[in-house]
Amino acid sequence: MLLRNLFYLVILVLIAFVSCNDEELPPIENEEEVITDVDLIFSPVDGSTPLTFGANDPDGEGPEDMVTDPIVLGAETSYQLFIKVRNDIDNVDLTEEIKEEGAEHMFFFGFSDELFDQPEGNGNIDSRADQVNYIDEDENGLPIGLITGWQTSTGGSGTLRVVLKHQPDVKTATSGTDVGSTDIDLTFDVTVE
C-alpha cells in the first residue's frame, strides 16, 4: 500500500512538472554586467585639471581581479569626484545605465579618516548614516554616488574603498552595504600631499 501511494505521488509530481508552462515559471534575474574599467575622476572645484585614477580588469571576470591605480591628491583641495564605469570588452559605457537605474544602485565609500576634512569620519560602508557628500540622486531623492564632494586634509596616506550595490526594490533611505548584490568593490591606496 505504501509503495503504491508513493508511486502515485511521484506520478502527480511529474504531471505537475510537465504541465508547467513558461507563464508559470519565475522571472529570470537580470544578468550581471561585465565591468572591466572604473575611473575615479577628481575634478578640482577651482577649475584646474582633473585627476583620473582607474581600476582595470581586462578579462571582466570580476571586481576582485581589478588592479587599481594609486591615487595622489593635492592637500587642502576641494574636489568633485565623478565615477565612470565601462565594459571595454563590448565597448559599453555603464555609467549612464547606473544613472538611469539610480533607484536600484548606490555607491558607498569608506576611507581613512586622515585623508579628508569633508566628509568627516570614515565613510558610510560600515554605517549608512555616516556622512558622504552625495551630489546626485535618483528619482526618489535618494543618493546614487556617481558624483560626490570631497575636501582633502593637510596631508596623509591611507585607503579609499568604493562599493557599488545593486538594490532593486530594496533601496531605501537606510539600506546599507548589507542589502542587495555587489557590482563593484575596490580599494585604492591614497596619498594627500
**146 DSSP 8-state letter:** S
* Cβ pair 162, 148 in contact under 8 A: no
Give the Cα separation of 94 and 65 in Å (integer).
Answer: 18
Per-residue pLDDT of the chain (193 residues; tens, 9 = 90+): 544 444 444 454 444 444 545 455 444 344 567 899 999 999 999 999 999 999 998 776 765 578 999 999 999 999 999 999 999 999 999 999 999 999 999 999 999 989 999 999 999 999 999 999 999 999 999 999 999 999 999 999 999 999 999 999 999 999 999 999 999 999 999 999 9
What global pTM score does this model have? Answer: 0.82
**132 DSSP 8-state letter:** -
* β 116-118/147-152 pair status: antiparallel
Give the Cα separation of 60 and 85 in Å (integer).
Answer: 12
Taking the domains of the chain in order of start, what are their residue ranges?
A: 32-192
- Grid coordinates representing 89? 570588452
Top-tier CATH class for 32-192:
mainly beta
- Grid coordinates representing 80? 568633485
Give the Cα separation of 71 and 157 in Å (integer).
Answer: 10
Neighbours of 98 (CB within 10 A): 24
CA distance readout (Å), 134 to 18, 46, 48, 80: 51, 19, 21, 10
